[in-house]
A and B are shown apart, each in its own frame.
Chain A
Amino acid sequence: MCNQMVVDQLSEDAVDRLFQALSDATRRDIVRRVSAGPMSVSGLATFYAMSFAAVQKHVAVLERATLVTKEKRGREQLVQANPDGLALARRLLDEYEDIWRQRAARITDLLGDVPGAEAKEPS
């Protein structure tokens, strides 16, 4: 319980880092890939049209946001999702909530449409 409360009380800075980390499509993709299993930085680099160093920078941003952890294994740097599954679940539920907010907005539009008046003039 106590641990839980600490996790819930993310500082403003931590939240900023989290949002900034997830504002980039490549970084979101990295999080998805390593969530399925640990991957080396060089392995990740094969998926993107960018340098190894650039991928390494993205990983560092994710690491600071505590979304992933990095571990040295031999000569490789192994990237894995943060083992705190609850943090991941919370983040995913937030995304899912966004989807439903957007759906609710589209439903409102749909319900407001007069049947037959297919093309609504933007005023």
Chain B
Amino acid sequence: MTVTSSIKSPEALTLAITAEFPAAVERVWQIWEDPRQLERWWGPPTYPATFEDYDFRPGGEAAYYMTGPDGSKPRGWWEFTAIDGPTRLELNDGFADDAGNRIADMGQALMAVSIADAGGRTAMTITTTFESTEQMQKMLEMGMEEGMGLAMGQIDAILAE
């Protein structure tokens, strides 16, 4: 398993998940730095993400949408609040309307990423802090409707290797 730890706090509405990868710190940083690589893992194959704008610098913003199996295209925005390559990244993640404008009352989640050498492997920890259970729920709906089905597809892919 690549995930080495997962700490959930229902009281604080946070999830801190750590995964280890067999690659260098600089290589793992690229999966955030390069939107084309980001698109290959952010959304599941049945609900892929497309990043249209990607201004990867402190204060910069990103605009993206997911494409659902039913053709729906929920949109989101990111705002990079801290970028300290290749080890630290912080961003806010929220919803946007069809025109790409932020939907303020849907709230936002704060994501803090830290990447560190772990003796030849690289450990990445993502700590997500939500504002409310309601917001967490809406965020999950975005790209999660087909959750069960896609997980099965991925297990098939792994078994076929």
Contacts and interface: CB of A to CB of B under 8 A. Distances in A.
A80 to B, nearest CB: 14
B42 A92 contact: no
A102 B44 contact: yes
B40 A86 contact: no
A95 B134 contact: no
Contacts of A108: 2, 21-22
A84 B75 CA distance: 30
B: contact size bracket: 35 or more
A52 interface: no
Interface extent on A, as a size class?
Answer: 20 to 34
Interface of B: 2-3, 6, 8-11, 13, 15, 17, 19, 21-23, 27-28, 31, 37, 40-42, 44, 126, 128, 133-134, 136-137, 139-141, 143-145, 147-148, 150-151, 154, 157-158, 160-161
Nearest to B145: A25
12 contacts: A86-B10, A88-B137, A100-B3, A102-B150, A102-B151, A103-B41, A104-B19, A106-B40, A106-B44, A107-B28, A111-B23, A122-B161
